[in-house]
């Protein structure tokens, strides 16, 4: 018997060719998937960068508004101090006005009181002696002086 060695067979060649074609197809699919994922990653990176820029702009706006708020608080504190001083001045003015009104009221009250009567200025009472000179009405008719 002769020894024959079969190096390859048609069946094996068909399977090997199909395996290579499948591997090439899978490699192409994987490469396409990698490209799609790379594109999505790039888009995501761009969106993340835009979001970071927006956050940075918002942070800068917050810093500026914080500075404005700080200025407003300082202004409000200053205004409150001025208002406090003004309120004290108004209180002092009202106290002085009240004292002046009380002094005027006391002066008016003192002016309305009758001064004490002096003995020489007093009217003679009804029981006192008549005046030295008699009034003409009180004279007798026909009596001459």
The DSSP code for 138 is G
User: Residue 16: what pLDDT?
Assistant: 63
User: Residue 110: what pLDDT?
Assistant: 87
What's the pTM? Answer: 0.40
Hey, is 2 helix, strand or coil? coil
What is the pLDDT of the chain when averaged over all its residues? 82
How far is the C-alpha of 55 from the C-alpha of 96, rounded, in Å? 60
83-107 pLDDT, tens digit per residue, is: 999 999 999 999 999 999 999 999 9
- Dihedral angle computed from the Cα positions of residues 42, 47, 51 and 56, in that order, rounded to the nearest 10 degrees: 50
29-50 pLDDT, tens digit per residue, is: 999 999 999 999 999 999 999 9
Q: Where are the domains of the chain?
A: 16-83
């Amino acid at each position: 018997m002769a020894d024959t060695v079969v190096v390859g067979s048609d069946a094996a060649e068909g399977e090997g060719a199909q395996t290579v074609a499948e591997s090439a197809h899978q490699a192409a699919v994987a490469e396409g998937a990698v490209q799609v994922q790379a594109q999505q990653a790039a888009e995501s990176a761009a969106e993340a960068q835009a979001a970071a820029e927006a956050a940075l702009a918002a942070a800068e706006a917050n810093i500026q508004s914080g500075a404005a708020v700080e200025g407003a608080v300082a202004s409000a504190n200053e205004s409150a101090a001025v208002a406090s001083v003004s309120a004290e001045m108004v209180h002092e003015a009202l106290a002085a006005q009240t004292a002046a009104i009380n002094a005027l009221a006391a002066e008016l009250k003192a002016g309305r009181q009758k001064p004490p009567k002096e003995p020489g200025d007093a009217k003679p009472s009804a029981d006192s002696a008549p005046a030295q000179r008699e009034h003409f009405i009180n004279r007798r008719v026909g009596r001459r002086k």
